[in-house]
Structure 1
Amino acid sequence: MMRKLLVALAFAVLAVVAVLGWMRPREAVSPAPPTATPTPAPTATLSGKDRLAAAVAVAFKDGRARTDEGGQRYTFDDDKLVDTPFGPVLISEGSVVDPGHASAGRIDIAYLRPEGNGFTLVRNYPAAAIAGSFGRLSGWQVDDRFADMPTLRTEGGFTGQGITCSAVVLTELRPTGPVEMAQVPIGVDNTGSALPGADDSVEGSFTDIRRNQGFAVRYSGSKAFTDRWERKGDRYVPIGPSQVPEC
């Protein structure tokens, strides 16, 4: 009888211990910290309008106007950033403030070097190309067909005593600086002149361009003909006499 009582008591004690263990508060488990999203590193490369604006700010740190040695004041409002094998080059068109008839437009060129999030100025080349009248150019563009380095084509015209003449200036952007390669007559119209026999009106266009070798200019209008140019040293020169009427 005593044994049965002891066994029953033992089972009762085990039951109480199990109940107390179940009722003991459980330790809180901290959730794992969230995985951090990596922040992309800032890039030092600008693009588009921001890149052009950074180049202009460096090349024109004193403002968008310049005065030449003759006192003519130019404002610059048309820019293009060109990537060359030796670095970025900024090309900017300048127009004369209060121009006269004989005032030409001009191109200023700045050689730059990438630095940090922008550029640093290597060297400015004011009036690297000059053309036109009434303070403006007729137009300009960059062409890679004439030379190993990009070539600037600057066009301008002038009218005097009833004769209108226009020409294209070719300027190669070399690592050592811009170099003029040729001044090519592109159009003549003397029909407004009072000179006897003045009835010529011709306009030319570039054709057969062979890099570093030569090109042709095909003229049409009152007469049709083709002038050819070849490279000699640092310049392009015409082959033989030209049929373009004198200006």
Structure 2
Amino acid sequence: MTTSRSRRAAPAKSAGGGRFLATAMVAGVTLGMGALLLWPRDGERSEPAPSAVAPKPAPPAAVASPTGVRALPAAEQLARAARTVFGPTGKASSAGEGGQVVTTPARLVWRGDTAVLISTAEMVDGCHGCTGGLDIAYLKPAGDGFTLVQRWPDAVSGSSWGAPPGEWSVSDKFGANPVIYASGGGTWQGYTCSVFTLTELGAGGPVGLVSVPEGYDDSGAGTTPATTLEGKIANIVPGRGFDVHYTGTQSFTDHYVRQGDKYAVRGETRMPTC
């Protein structure tokens, strides 16, 4: 008996694959022709634009180095200024109205091209009513040293018993010129008072700007009730004015305004004095 085997039909090729291949070929030809059309012909190709280069910043201006005496350390400048004013010893001892006065250099301040030597002046064995102070001298640099322009031995007042100011400093907050703040005082019959002064280092020399009551205490005098007040400078406006705020048994503020080369309190102060 003969058995016939059935033949399997060969799988049919996918029609979709053929269409994909044809589409890809057409797309490739189209892109190639487009690229040829867009490619610039000789002479039409533009050179790439040069990238913007930021200009180089100008080199900083050279700062002139100090020369002569200004190139020396501060301590050496002070020593040379002291020898210029007071001689080889760098300090002075002289006879005053209330006794021997010893003047000791304390600080050198530059005001432009002028050097200002500030020295403390103390009276040895001074009397109760005697006061010391600050000695001020203006100098000009000369090579590696100084020459003296002018000296003011009693420029700033100090405290009783021949003492210099109990506290002093140099400030640049009041205006274009440096200003010396100096506080001094004493006790008389149980009343203790202190005053501060402002002295401007002007072009022609020191100028006293104002003297302001700073502290008051009458408890030593047996006053009932006792009054104790202390003032502090506040609200400085350069070249125009400042406040003095007092605290203690009372609290109030005095306002000082500049009038020419002086300061004056606005209205009347409530601060008692000795």
Matched, 1:115 2:148: no
Moved more, 215-224 or 73-82: 73-82
Partner secondary structure for residue 247 of structure 2: strand
Distance 1:153 1:42 in 2: 30
Name which one, 1 or 2, has greater alpha-carbon Rg. 2
Which residue is equivalent to 1:221? 248
CA contact under 8 A between 2:69 and 2:142: conserved in structure 1? no
**Residue 135 of structure 1, CA deviation:** 1.5
- CA distance in 1 between counterparts of 2:86 and 2:110 reads 19
Confirm or deny that 1:165 pairs with 2:156: no
- In structure 2, what is the Cα distance between the partners aligned to 1:153 and 1:222? 25
Q: CA separation of 1:231/1:44 partners in 2, compared to 1, >3 Å: closer, same or farther?
A: closer
Name the TM-score, length of structure 1 as normaliser.
0.78
In the TM superposition, what whole-angstrom CA distance separates every residue of 1:154-181 from its partner, at most 9, and x where no partner exists? 1101100100000111100001110100
Which segments of 5 or more consecutive residues in structure 1 lack a partner in the other structure?
1-40
**Which residues in structure 2 correspond to 1:1-247 (within 5 Å)?**
45-61=71-87, 64-67=91-94, 70=97, 72-136=99-163, 137-195=165-223, 197=224, 199-247=226-274
Question: Which letter maps to 1:52?
Answer: L
**What's the RMSD between the two structures over aligned residues?**
2.0
1:121-147 per-position Cα deviation (integer Å, ceiling 9, x unaligned): 111111101121111121111011113
TM-score, normalised by the number of residues in structure 2? 0.71
- The 3-state SS of whatever aligns with 1:245 is coil
Contact 1:219 1:226 in 2 (8 A): yes
Q: What is the aligned length?
A: 206
Give secondary structure in 2 for the equivalent of 1:192: helix
Residues of 2 paired with 1:97 and 1:121: CA distance?
A: 26
Q: Tell me, in whole angstroms, the C-alpha distance in 1 between the residues paired with 2:231 and 2:68.
A: 50
- Structure 2 CA distance for aligned equivalents of residues 128 and 42 of structure 1: 29
**Aligned equivalents of 1:169 and 1:78: distance in 2?**
20
Distance 1:92 1:161 in 2: 31
Sequence identity, in percent?
A: 37
Q: Which runs of 4+ in 1 moved over 6 A?
A: 41-44
Deviation at 1:65, TM superposition (A): 2.6
Query: Which has the larger share of strand?
Result: 1
In the TM superposition, residue 66 of structure 1 has moved relative to its aligned partner by 4.1
| Residues 86/115 of structure 1: CA separation in 2 closer, same or farther (3 Å cut) | closer
Structure 1 position 60, deviation (Å)? 0.9
User: What are structure 2's unaligned runs of at least 5 residues?
Assistant: 1-66
